[in-house]
Amino acid sequence: MNVRLAAQILSNSVATGFKYYRERENTKESFEDTEGTEEMVSLINNAFDVMNGQCYKYSIRRSTWRKDRLV
């Protein structure tokens, strides 16, 4: 798998999709235990965003890791 495809699969849209389908009545059962997967996909998406950024100001540091992880 190349990075472009991985970035698409591990994107904020996919994380939002997990939440959306988990909350719908007709798909609730199929997506009932996806909270952890949603969190992991969101975390990887945020890491991709930081690594692709051009601004040092928004980089991940020890002091900001816990706060950034919760976003």
Cβ-contact 15, 41 below 8 angstroms: yes
Question: What letter would DSSP give residue 62?
Answer: H
pTM above 0.75, yes or no: no
For residues 62 and 13, the model is more confident at 13
**Residue 48 · residue 71 · CB < 8 Å:** no
For residues 30 and 66, give the distance between their C-alpha atoms in angstroms, rounded to a whole number: 31
HEC per residue, 6-51: HHHHCCHHHHHHHHHHHHCCCCCCCCCCCHHHHHHHHHHHHHHHHH
Decide which of 59 and 46 is more confident: 46
Residue 8 has pLDDT above 60, yes or no: yes
| pLDDT, tens digit, 9 for 90 and up, residues 14-29 | 999 999 999 999 999 9
Give the pLDDT confidence score for residue 6 in this predicted structure.
82
